[in-house]
Structure formats: structure tokens, C-alpha cells
């Protein structure tokens, strides 16, 4: 359990009440985002941030006790903005009843566009900096909320055929989040964002379609079913031609012909 002193270092000391104070805090937070993105977490200091903001170090410490407190403020603002964007996209999808593929494209594009606004800062926030426990809880809460929105869409849309909407929603959200993070932090500049979005949309649609098109009583593995839903027939074992006895032995195992015979079910 973190000590009270450690927790205090992660929280803003006070909230600005006057317009001038709010202007100062906004300048400090913007400067922190710029310096963290340019220098990284380890190389950034409160002196760097104060200099970029054009304020004294005393003015910075009046509101933020450490660079970690500024980082937490940036994380919380980032999460609040992302949640608002995704909730707005979900509300529009539920209201307009667009085709599933269009809704998936909107969801994926919203995620990618949001996280791609400042790739360097995203890398610092979610790869370099230590995440405090309450920020991790906040991340989990946002993810749970987004999964619930996607599940509600899958349950209410006439084209959505997922047999387990809750599980399908969780898989879709986790996959899109992981791929988006990979693109933003490690993506190649040679691959355009739109091309990446199209591939992600194709992946999600293939998953949802395969889940929905399989009959509920179909086995999850084993032989593939034919288009009419009946089990596919395997090839018959090797036999001599009908009407006459074989004058030669079946090909021995291990030879090329024998391996073909084994593959056919002998």
C-alpha cells in the first residue's frame, strides 16, 4: 500500500479558483505535455516544465508537488477525453442504426485518431511512466464502460449475431486497444493510419461474422461442415477396385504413396 507521502506527491496541491490562477495551471499542464513528449519521462524535471511554461519553480510547486503529479493530471485528462469520444461514438451508433461495419469503422477510427494526436506523449504516459494504482483503476473503469457500450450495441443491432455479446464485446475492445497502442507507440511511418484502420476493421468484422455465422450447435473443432450444415465426408480408406481381388499389397507406410494413403484415413 503506498504511503500517504507518496500519494500526496501524485496529487495537485490545490485547484485554481481565479481566472489568472487557471491560466497559470493550464500553461503548466500544457508545458508538461510538451516537455514529457520531447524529453521523455526520465529526462524531464520540474525545472524544465517551469521554464517551458514561463513561470517560476515556486509557482509550479504551488499547484503540483512533483513531475509525477503533473503526469497524473495529464493521464486523467487523457482518459476523460478518450471516454467522452467513445461514448459519443457509441451514442451516435445506437441512434442512427448504421450497418455494423460502418459502426466498427467509426469506433476504430475514433480510437486511432484520439491516440495518434500526440504519439510521443502517449508513449511516455503508458510505456515509460509508472502508473499509480488509482490511475490503473481508472483505466479499468474506462475499459469496462466501453465494453458495456459495445455489448449494448451488439445486443440491440439487428445485424449483430454474436451468440455471446458480452464476451464478443470484451474481445473486440481489447483487440482494438492493443492494436491501437501498438500502432501509436511502435507503428511504422511507412504504413498510413487509414490503411491500418482498414485492416483492423476487417479483422473485427471477420471475428464478428465468423462468430455469428456458425450454428449454435456446431462443434468448435474437428471436421469442417459443408455449406448445407452436414458434416463433411472424409476420403475412404484405400481398397482394391470393386469386383476383383487386389494382386498387390497396399503401399508401405513411410513411402510417399504410403503417406498419401495415411492422410486419406488408412
Q: What is the CATH number of the domain that holds 12?
A: 1.10.10.60
Q: Could you tell me the pLDDT band of residue 167, with boundaries at 50, 70 and 90?
A: very high
> Are 47 and 119 in the same domain?
no
> Are 178 and 203 in the same domain?
yes
pLDDT digits (tens, 9 = 90+) for 67-95: 999 999 998 888 888 888 888 877 777 77
- Residue 42: the pLDDT is 92
- Return the closest-CA partner of residue 68 out of 1, 135, 137: 135
- Residue 253: the pLDDT is 57
> Are 165 and 80 in the same domain?
yes
pLDDT digits (tens, 9 = 90+) for 177-198: 888 888 877 776 677 778 888 9
What is the number of structural domains in the chain?
Answer: 2
Residue 229 lies in a domain: no
> Are 129 and 203 in the same domain?
yes
- Residue 254: the pLDDT is 56
- Residue 209: the pLDDT is 79
Q: Could you tell me the pLDDT band of residue 213, with boundaries at 50, 70 and 90?
A: very low
Of 67, 86, 112, which one is at a domain's C-terminal end? Answer: 67
> Are 80 and 159 in the same domain?
yes
pLDDT digits (tens, 9 = 90+) for 98-121: 788 888 888 888 888 777 777 888
> Of residues 1 and 59, which shows the higher confidence score?
59
Of 189, 213, 237, which one is at a domain's C-terminal end? Answer: 213
Residue 82: which domain range? 71-213
Residue 85 lies in a domain: yes
> Are 136 and 12 in the same domain?
no
Residue 230 lies in a domain: no
Q: Could you tell me the pLDDT band of residue 224, with boundaries at 50, 70 and 90?
A: very low
* Section 165-176 average pLDDT: 92
Pick the range with the lowest mean pLDDT from 153-162, 227-236, 244-253.
227-236
> Are 62 and 76 in the same domain?
no
Q: What is the CATH number of the domain that holds 90?
A: 1.10.357.10
The overall average pLDDT reported for the chain is 77
Handedness of CA 45, 51, 54, 55 (dihedral sign): positive
Of 213, 233, 261, which one is at a domain's C-terminal end? Answer: 213
Residue 32 lies in a domain: yes
Residue 238 lies in a domain: no
Residue 258 lies in a domain: no
> Are 83 and 207 in the same domain?
yes
Q: What is the largest CA-CA distance in the chain?
A: 103
- Residue 249: the pLDDT is 56
pLDDT digits (tens, 9 = 90+) for 12-53: 555 666 788 889 999 999 999 999 999 999 999 999 999 999
Q: What are the CA-CA distances from residue 88 to residues 106, 133, 201 (Å)?
A: 11, 27, 19
> Of residues 162 and 206, which shows the higher confidence score?
206
Residue 244 lies in a domain: no
- Return the closest-CA partner of residue 182 out of 204, 206, 202, 200: 200
- Residue 65: the pLDDT is 92
> Are 75 and 177 in the same domain?
yes
pTM over 0.75? The answer is: no
> Are 20 and 54 in the same domain?
yes
> Are 195 and 81 in the same domain?
yes
> Are 27 and 123 in the same domain?
no
Amino acid at each position: 500500500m503506498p504511503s500517504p507521502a507518496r500519494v500526496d506527491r501524485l496529487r495537485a496541491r490545490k485547484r485554481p479558483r481565479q481566472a489568472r490562477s487557471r491560466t497559470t495551471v493550464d500553461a503548466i499542464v500544457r508545458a508538461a505535455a510538451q516537455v514529457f513528449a520531447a524529453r521523455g519521462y526520465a529526462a524531464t524535471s520540474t525545472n524544465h516544465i517551469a521554464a517551458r511554461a514561463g513561470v517560476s519553480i515556486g509557482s509550479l510547486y504551488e499547484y503540483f508537488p512533483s513531475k509525477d503529479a503533473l503526469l497524473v493530471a495529464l493521464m486523467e485528462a487523457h482518459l476523460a477525453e478518450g471516454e467522452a469520444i467513445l461514448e459519443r461514438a457509441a451514442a451516435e451508433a445506437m441512434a442512427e442504426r448504421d450497418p455494423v461495419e460502418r459502426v466498427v469503422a467509426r469506433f476504430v477510427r475514433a480510437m486511432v485518431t484520439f491516440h495518434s494526436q500526440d504519439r510521443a506523449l502517449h508513449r511516455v504516459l503508458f510505456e515509460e511512466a509508472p502508473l499509480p494504482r488509482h490511475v490503473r483503476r481508472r483505466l479499468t473503469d474506462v475499459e469496462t464502460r466501453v465494453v458495456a457500450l459495445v455489448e449494448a450495441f451488439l445486443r440491440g443491432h439487428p445485424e449483430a449475431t454474436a451468440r455471446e455479446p458480452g464476451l464478443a464485446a470484451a474481445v473486440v475492445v481489447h483487440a482494438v486497444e492493443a492494436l491501437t497502442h501498438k500502432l501509436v507507440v511502435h507503428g511504422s511511418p511507412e504504413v498510413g493510419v487509414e490503411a491500418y484502420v482498414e485492416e483492423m476493421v476487417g479483422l473485427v468484422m471477420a471475428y464478428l461474422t465468423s462468430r455469428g455465422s456458425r450454428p449454435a450447435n456446431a462443434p468448435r473443432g474437428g471436421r469442417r461442415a459443408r455449406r448445407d450444415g452436414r458434416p463433411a465426408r472424409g476420403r475412404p480408406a484405400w481398397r482394391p477396385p470393386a469386383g476383383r481381388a487386389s494382386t498387390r499389397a497396399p503401399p508401405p507406410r513411410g513411402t510417399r504413396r504410403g503417406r498419401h494413403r495415411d492422410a486419406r484415413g488408412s
